Structure 1
């Protein structure tokens, strides 16, 4: 290579650098995703976490609670349309790919980058194919086995079909769910052409529902905290003000997701009760890889993402404005505050 020539990182290096940039010097929580909100108080920085995950995977991912938790966090990220933990999983697997890819490239005369790209693409295909019906403890080993298999297959065929430039760490699109609130209303928000009106109706419906369920006090306390600046909704982190129809005349800080009213995670018993099944049945489904959405492992217990539970139960996680929610509640109560 000539002096000053630019070294192009391969797909393995790009994955590692992306993950390290994301976590920086912060602590990594594989239980609920946020070390500050986790009941388990000891969390490592990413380099130490990665070393532990690699060692656990090599020894026995099938019996590792760490890998069970990592797979669950990856699935939860998928539901939110994020790829952070999927990349973490890949980053903790690719060390087992490096030697194989180098050997295949040398023995079969195939470009090493092509082999590595094919291995990552295949591992991602296995990740997608094992969402249901495969216990989390088996996912890592299946990804590794399939990636090794495609490396030798590509080497034997001396094919050039795969290209690093074509590999993309994709975000699976979540299926569109019909809203329970929409089903309960004679107004179809999707048919309203005026974005301002649609936004208002969405918030008023949500407030009316909370009032009908007898739990609007929770929203009232949350709204007071928003207005006092003691906390903020997660909407500011996910959606730009330009996507909020009336943000030009109202504070963006008063927008929030419906799920902001609830804790991020609840226990498996509470989740099973909401789903209408016994806790023991929920445990059996988790062990068999048949639970309808991923759960997080925290020590000896399981934590269930409220957002994932809402998605499963088709409860809309709507973006609403505090004023609209309060107006809807007031209307539902007959004007009595």
Structure 2
């Protein structure tokens, strides 16, 4: 069986392959910076930057921010990337301790990874992103020496699945939407689902942006793009999937830009831009931020979650019906 370091590396390579990766906003197409390295080159650069000086590295600041953003969505992809870029500096130390103290090398390595993940979780708030990498490494080194000294053979898993936190249940925050009709009191999930979509469609029509939404729907129907709702969610709790195309579900946030500038995000949560910068430097900004060059960007989905703006799961048919009704009412 391959060791945990090999499993981490293999898993990340399987995700990214040899394609360009973007550590600024997560998606190469959405990034203002047009030159992106392949994952192997990115990994090599991150490892070198971490060894030289992670606290002053913009790359590691962005890498930590991407990990935090993915954590908000229950996605461990970039957290695994952080581990994949840290574990190479664990290799020689773990081998030396295993040899000198005559303990199992994989036990040492599993303990180091587990400890690094614990530090990752404990530094989610109150710690500047630039300091997270070094704290993970320091704690991992300390536990490796502790394991060596005690000679403990306590069993610790080395399966990659153990790295992912338990999946949180899907919570439909859209039930908080204000309306004359209280959706939470509607017993029929099918009716509530339809009303949510029609409300949003009417709102989008009123804002004068439904043409862009219609183009989004046309791309979905043609298979040129898809919504971000997972197949498991579609199959388990969405009523229209029983009689309409389940691939036409999407989150309302799919209609918005993935990221906005720090000034706009700070304005939404009521902070001056200068205060936002100061909080970022202190590791106390209430949202993860992604760095692109000299500027910061904030995930719109994370911002919606922080400000309790509902991110409803809607169906394209319902959105279009709502817009059609609104158009008829205006006429």
Q: TM-score, normalised by structure 1?
A: 0.88
Alignment of 1:277-296 (within 5 A): 277-296=271-290
Structure 2 residue aligned with 1:151: 144
Alignment of 1:101-116 (within 5 A): 101-116=94-109
- Compute the displacement of 1:205 (Å): 3.8
Q: Distance in 2 between matches of 1:176 and 1:246?
A: 17
Q: Distance in 1 between matches of 2:66 and 2:308?
A: 21
Contact 1:78 1:171 in 2 (8 A): no
Structure 2 residue aligned with 1:235: 228
Matched position secondary structure for 2:148: helix
- Greater Cα offset, 269-278 or 165-174: 165-174
Task: Check if 1:88 corresponds to 2:87.
Answer: no
Structure 1 residue aligned with 2:314: 320
Q: 2:262 aligns with which of 256, 260, 268?
A: 268
Using a 3 Å threshold, how does the CA distance of structure 1 residues 334 and 219 change in structure 2: closer, same or farther?
closer
Using a 3 Å threshold, how does the CA distance of structure 1 residues 235 and 92 change in structure 2: closer, same or farther?
closer
Q: 1:47 aligns with which of 21, 34, 40?
A: 40
- Compute the displacement of 1:166 (Å): 6.7
Contact 2:12 2:80 in 1 (8 A): yes
Q: Distance in 2 between matches of 1:172 and 1:280?
A: 37
Figure out how many residues of one structure are paired with residues of the other and give that number.
Answer: 327
Q: Distance in 1 between matches of 2:209 and 2:90?
A: 50
Is there any run of 5+ residues in structure 1 with no aligned partner, and where? 1-7
- Compute the displacement of 1:146 (Å): 0.3
Alignment of 1:61-140 (within 5 A): 61-140=54-133
- Compute the displacement of 1:331 (Å): 5.9
C-alpha RMSD of matched pairs (Å): 2.5
- Compute the displacement of 1:175 (Å): 8.9
- Greater Cα offset, 252-261 or 292-301: 252-261
1:180-230 CA-to-partner distances (Å, cap 9, x unmatched) read 76251465555655332232132234345556xx52x32442124413646
Q: Distance in 1 between matches of 2:184 and 2:117?
A: 34
Matched position secondary structure for 1:116: helix
Q: 1:257 aligns with which of 247, 251, 257?
A: 251
Is there any run of 5+ residues in structure 2 with no aligned partner, and where? none
